[in-house]
A and B are shown apart, each in its own frame.
Chain A
């Protein structure tokens, strides 16, 4: 396309935004409402997701080694586990280290356990991390079948429930976001349809004198995109200022850093870019959908 033509299309679409005054405000408003909801939702979802991922990352399998196994066998077992496809890392943890962990985990009451240092009853262990935390259960079951493995533990119940909850939350969030986006597309396409009706005569003449469909579609394409971008201004301002506020208040409440949210930079900026993109896409899709019908002459 020639630069001159692009300029013409831009001029036409901006002119139309003004000409349609209130309709422009109404559709940009529809995008704004949608994007505010989508933005808030995405911020929440992505943070929950991050927390869940963090928790998942912490899930490890502890394979306790038979006390009867000698050094050679222990080494062999380690290699065997390491060769599994699903395994990310394998760490050997001697029984002394295990006891140290236990004592530290006990805190104050741990001192009594120190007596055991003389005669350590614990097993050596391998601490295994799965590549995909979701595969932890299968991996643990497989490791349990190996020789010289006494017992396998990974906090079965907790892990299962955590994974289930995360998956549900992700699915529900996705469905809600898609629903919201479709609603906004519908609203925009209706608005643009009304403005096209007013211009159907113009389109008819364009077709008669030999304008291509692409030529006719462009101004609407740009108009839709501008509507989407206009509609995303308020949500982006909201995200950039709101997330700052959210971040500071969260860090005040949980000074220990127990709840960790995604950092403002780059997360808030990334989210804004996503919102802008969704806004533009909603606008473009809505307008292209509504103009299609009028081109079939």
Chain B
């Protein structure tokens, strides 16, 4: 599903973010990416949806070799990957429904399919009754659930979440994690970069720890391993 072999990433300003990373993640896995700030977590995550390109090494996602992926094929590659951010990245002037439908509109899905799939996914994240609300009228947790809905409405094989609970209080974080587990149970691979010791130590999953651009630990049912 995700295969990395000796991946290096050096930015154009000379900063080396990844220093030879090799990892293999299977379909349906749930993986936490942990590590101190500036260790390369973000770069690792950005590689997954081809926001950045590896300087060296092999990276295969969904059977696509990213070093051979042409610019014009990036959009199609991304349609199989859902991305979720700490700051939700919702469009403030669009309603909950429109925000989720937006992801289908831009890939030219038919209106009938859009309606059905948006309502299905809003039901999954528990926001069916708030479809007409604007993001500002929702709580942080609800907004994050909208952004999750948008990420998965396209039925991606992989969901990438970059600190999805970073802006949320603990109670809300659990709520979000329940949604992730539900998605994972349906067979979607989930990659989640996080700083939350409680989450990692409570909902036990595979943990990959990155420090100074290297993988220093890769355990199944691992611990967070840092003082938070």
User: Which A residues have a C-beta under 8 Å from some C-beta of B?
Assistant: 2, 4-5, 8, 201-202, 204-213, 215-216, 297
CB distance from A20 to the nearest CB of B (A): 14
Q: Does B76 make an interface contact (CB < 8 A)?
A: yes
> What residue of chain B has the Cβ atom nearest to residue A295's Cβ?
B71
User: Which B residues have a C-beta under 8 Å from some C-beta of A?
Assistant: 49, 51, 72, 75-79, 83, 89, 91, 102-103, 105-108, 111, 150, 154
> What residue of chain B has the Cβ atom nearest to residue A204's Cβ?
B89
Asked whether, in the complex, the Cβ of B91 is within 8 Å of the Cβ of A209, the reply is: no
Inside 8 A of A4's CB, which chain B residues have their CB? 108, 111
Inside 8 A of B106's CB, which chain A residues have their CB? 206, 209-211, 215-216
Inside 8 A of B79's CB, which chain A residues have their CB? 209-210
Closest 8 CB pairs of A and B: A211-B106, A210-B79, A209-B103, A210-B78, A212-B75, A210-B75, A206-B106, A208-B83
CB distance from B45 to the nearest CB of A (A): 12
A4-B108, A297-B51 known, 7 other contacts, Cβ within 8 Å: A202-B91, A207-B75, A207-B78, A208-B83, A209-B79, A210-B79, A213-B75
- Of A5, A201, A205, A216, which is within 8 A of B102 by CB? A205
Asked whether, in the complex, the Cβ of B105 is within 8 Å of the Cβ of A210, the reply is: no
> What residue of chain A has the Cβ atom nearest to residue B150's Cβ?
A209
**A-B pairs with beta carbons under 8 A, tally:** 49
- Of A8, A205, A213, A216, which is within 8 A of B89 by CB? A205
- Per DSSP, chain A at the interface is helix
Asked whether, in the complex, the Cβ of A210 is within 8 Å of the Cβ of B91, the reply is: no
A2 to B75, CA, bound (A): 18
> What residue of chain A has the Cβ atom nearest to residue B84's Cβ?
A208
CB distance from B109 to the nearest CB of A (A): 10
> What residue of chain B has the Cβ atom nearest to residue A209's Cβ?
B103
> What residue of chain A has the Cβ atom nearest to residue B92's Cβ?
A201
Inside 8 A of B111's CB, which chain A residues have their CB? 4
> What residue of chain B has the Cβ atom nearest to residue A5's Cβ?
B108
- Of A201, A204, A205, A211, which is within 8 A of B75 by CB? A211
CB distance from A221 to the nearest CB of B (A): 16
Asked whether, in the complex, the Cβ of A205 is within 8 Å of the Cβ of B91, the reply is: yes
| A210 and B107 in contact, given A202-B91, A204-B89 (Cβ under 8 angstroms) | yes
A210 to B106, CA, bound (A): 7
Inside 8 A of A8's CB, which chain B residues have their CB? 105
A201 to B49, CA, bound (A): 17
CB distance from A232 to the nearest CB of B (A): 31
> What residue of chain B has the Cβ atom nearest to residue A211's Cβ?
B106
Asked whether, in the complex, the Cβ of B102 is within 8 Å of the Cβ of A209, the reply is: yes
Inside 8 A of B51's CB, which chain A residues have their CB? 297
A4 to B154, CA, bound (A): 19
